[in-house]
Structure 1
Amino acid sequence: MTPQRSLRDGVRMFNKHVLNPAMVHLAGRKHWYASAVRHTGRVTGKSYVTPVVAEQVADGFIIPLPYGTGVDWLRNVLAAGRATITSAGRTYDVVSPKIIDAASASPKLSAGHRRTFHRFGITDFLQVTVE
C-alpha cells in the first residue's frame, strides 16, 4: 500500500465514523455545500444517508468519488439503480447511476469544481439522472 493510499484510507475512515455523522444533519440544506444521498443497503435493506458533494447538471447530478469506486454507499446506489439526493433544500429521485471518468465529467462541471476535483486527483465520478 502506498503512503498516499494509506493517508486517503485514513481520511475516509475518519470521515465515515466522525465527520459524516455530524455532516448528515447539515447535508442537503439550502446554502450548504454538501448534499445528502439516501440509499438502501444491498445486504441489510436498511436506509442510509451519506453526505457528498453533488453538482447539479442539466439532467441530474455528478458526484466526485475521492475514495474510489469501492465505497459502500456507491455500491448500494449502483445495485439499487436509484437513490434520492437532497441538495440546496430540494429532494430529487435519481436513477441510472453510472460511473464516468474525469474526461466525461469535466465538460458538465462548473469551472470551480472542475479545478478543485482535478487538484485533488479525482478521476472517477458518479452520474445520475433526475427521474
Structure 2
Amino acid sequence: MLTETPPIRGVMRRFNKHVLNPAMMHLAGRKHFYAAVLRHTGRRSGRHYATPVVADRVANGFIVPLPYGTDVDWLRNVRASGEAAVSLGGHTYDVVEPEIIDAATAGPQLSPSRRRVFQAFGIKRFVKLKMDRS
C-alpha cells in the first residue's frame, strides 16, 4: 500500500467520492465532456460500480491518473478482476490488463497539455488499461 497521499488529498478524496463524483455521473462518459466513466465489479461483493475518472486515450487503450495513489477502491476492483469498461466521448470500450505506471512512462504517451496539468498536481502514478481485442 502506498502512503504517499498527503492528508489534504485524503479529505479531497472523500469529498470527491461522496459529493463530486455522484454529481459528475450525469455528464461523465458523454460526448464533449472531459471525464470518462469506469465501470467495474466489486472484488468481494460482485456488485457493479461506475466511477467518473479522467481517462486519456492512448495507443492500445487508456491512461488514467491516480491522484490519490494506488489504494483506491475502483483500482483495487479493476486489478482484482483484470478488466473493466471505459465510457468516453459517447463510446464504451472494454479494457484489460491494468498496469500501474509512473509519470516518466505515462508522460510521453500523453498530450503536452495533460502532462503539464498532471505534473502541476504532482501526480506520480497512473494506470494503463489496454483495449480488449478479443
TM-score by length of 1: 0.96
Stretches of structure 1 lacking an aligned partner (at least 5 in a row):
none
Q: Distance in 1 between matches of 2:44 and 2:26?
A: 25
Q: Distance in 2 between matches of 1:99 and 1:45?
A: 23
**1:31 deviation in Å?**
0.1
Q: Distance in 1 between matches of 2:81 and 2:87?
A: 18
Q: Which residue of 1 aligns with 2:14?
A: 13
Q: Which residue of 2 aligns with 1:29?
A: 30
Percent identity between matched residues is 60
- When the two structures are aligned, how many residues end up with a matched partner? 128
Q: Distance in 1 between matches of 2:33 and 2:45?
A: 30
Q: Distance in 2 between matches of 1:125 and 1:64?
A: 4
What amino acid sits opposite 2:103 in the alignment?
A: A
Stretches of structure 2 lacking an aligned partner (at least 5 in a row):
none
1:54-73 CA distance string (max 9 Å, x none): 00001100000000000000
Q: How does 1:1-131 map to 2 (within 5 A)?
A: 5-131=6-132
What amino acid sits opposite 2:44 in the alignment?
A: V
Q: Distance in 1 between matches of 2:66 and 2:14?
A: 15
TM-score by length of 2: 0.94
Q: Distance in 1 between matches of 2:13 and 2:117?
A: 18
| Matched residue SS, 1:15 | helix
* Runs of 4+ off more than 2 Å: none
1:19-42 CA distance string (max 9 Å, x none): 101111211000000000000001
Q: Distance in 1 between matches of 2:102 and 2:12?
A: 22
Q: Distance in 1 between matches of 2:131 and 2:18?
A: 29
